[in-house]
Amino acid sequence: MGGLLVATGAGLVRVGERSTDILLARPGLQCVAVDGGRILAGSRGSGLWESDDSGATWRDAELPATDVFSVAFSPVDGAVYAGSEPSALYVRRDRGSWEELAALRELPSAPTWSFPPRPWTSHVRWIAPSPHDAGLILAGIELGGLMRTTDGGETWVDHRPGAQRDVHSLAWHPTEPGRAYESAGGGTAWSRDGGDNWEPTDAGRDRHYTWALAVDPGDPDRWWVSASPGPFEAHGSDRPARAALYRWSDGGPWEELDLGLERPLETMPYALAATDSRLVAGLRDGRLFESEDGGDNWQPVDAPGLPAVVAIAAV
């Protein structure tokens, strides 16, 4: 097994073949992004933290926002992005100062954005810079819609046709230009034209509250999502999640995968990560599982004592 960075809600943990090390103790951790030795870790309550040496040392990134829900590196030009609550999106280029991409908050739909548990606010739940075009970025608002820019955030177009509005995760395919993917509160969708238009992809699933998402780097027609009947099952503590992990391949429909646990799953898979050789699933209760064959067979990852897994990045 290669290394993993696991955001647990209490901090950032590196899980290797023989060790589990706490890299950053930070309550409310929500998100993590990796670019070589650079790491971003965003938290709800204590802002954005960054490392340039694979987590050996850390510094406050001095983002002008305290509650950070999404982070990303541009694969094209290395720009750093961070999304916050209330909904705002920031960029830092060439190690300069942070700049808010304020045109996002000027979209016509912005006054309607509202996160149901805190209906007076919303947040930028996911940021997806294109791996093929530095100016092309997707931003998902929970709850508000899927927004798109082609000029690096100077201007934006409002919620895209066919996409879900309760955005949870977004991804691009690393080698197939134009192919993008979404998991959301009402289902899943994908785009073949660079995120401008979207097609629902829900056939075969009886659960439509989808959360985590991963894409096969070698096959743009294969991807995975986790799903539950609804938010109370997925995130609540007083009932089982009734969740499942699904795989879409070769035109679908979705196929439910067997992690070797109870079915349906009592705990929600909160995070997924895929590389050329493996697929990793992180459950809300802290358990990690790994597959080397796209999800047909699974093995537990030896990482005892992890609290709730919130996000995963493969390193």
Residue 226, helix vs strand vs coil: strand
What does the domain layout of the chain look like in residue ranges? 69-300
Instruction: Dump pLDDT digits (tens) for 252-288.
Output: 899 999 999 999 999 999 999 999 989 999 999 999 9
Single pTM value for the model: 0.95
| Look-up of token digits 């995120």 | 195
Which residues have C-beta within 8 Å of that of residue 181, sequence separation ≥ 6?
A: 170, 171, 172, 173, 188, 189, 190, 191, 213, 215, 223
The span from the CA of 131 to the CA of 71, in Å, is 15
Which residues have C-beta within 8 Å of that of residue 129, sequence separation ≥ 6?
A: 72, 73, 74, 75, 76, 79, 81, 136, 137
Q: Tell me what the mean pLDDT of segment 121-137 comes to.
A: 97
Find the helix or strand (DSSP H, E) in which 232 lies: helix 231-235
The span from the CA of 255 to the CA of 245, in Å, is 8
Q: Is the pLDDT of residue 111 over 60?
A: yes
One DSSP character per residue, 86-133 reads TTEEEEE-TT---EE-GGGGGSTTGGG--BTTBTT--EEEEEEE-SS-
Find the helix or strand (DSSP H, E) in which 235 lies: helix 231-235
The span from the CA of 189 to the CA of 47, in Å, is 31
Q: Is the pLDDT of residue 1 over 70?
A: no
One DSSP character per residue, 12-25 reads EEEE-SS-EEEEEE
Q: Tell me what the mean pLDDT of segment 170-180 comes to.
A: 97
205: Cα within 13 Å, side-chain hemisphere? 28
| Domain with residues 69-300, CATH architecture | 7 Propeller (2.130)
The span from the CA of 243 to the CA of 260, in Å, is 14
Please state, as a whole number, how many other Cβ atoms lie within 10 Å of the Cβ of residue 55.
20
The span from the CA of 93 to the CA of 121, in Å, is 28
The span from the CA of 159 to the CA of 139, in Å, is 10
Look at residue 20 in the predicted model and tell me its pLDDT.
87
Portion of the chain with pLDDT greater than 90, in percent: 90
**Are 274 and 215 contacting, i.e. CB atoms less than 8 angstroms apart?**
yes
The span from the CA of 125 to the CA of 143, in Å, is 9
| Look-up of token digits 């064959």 | 293
Look at residue 174 in the predicted model and tell me its pLDDT.
96
Instruction: Dump pLDDT digits (tens) for 15-70.
Output: 987 778 999 998 899 999 999 999 999 999 999 999 999 999 999 999 999 999 99
Instruction: Dump pLDDT digits (tens) for 191-213.
Output: 999 999 999 999 999 999 999 99
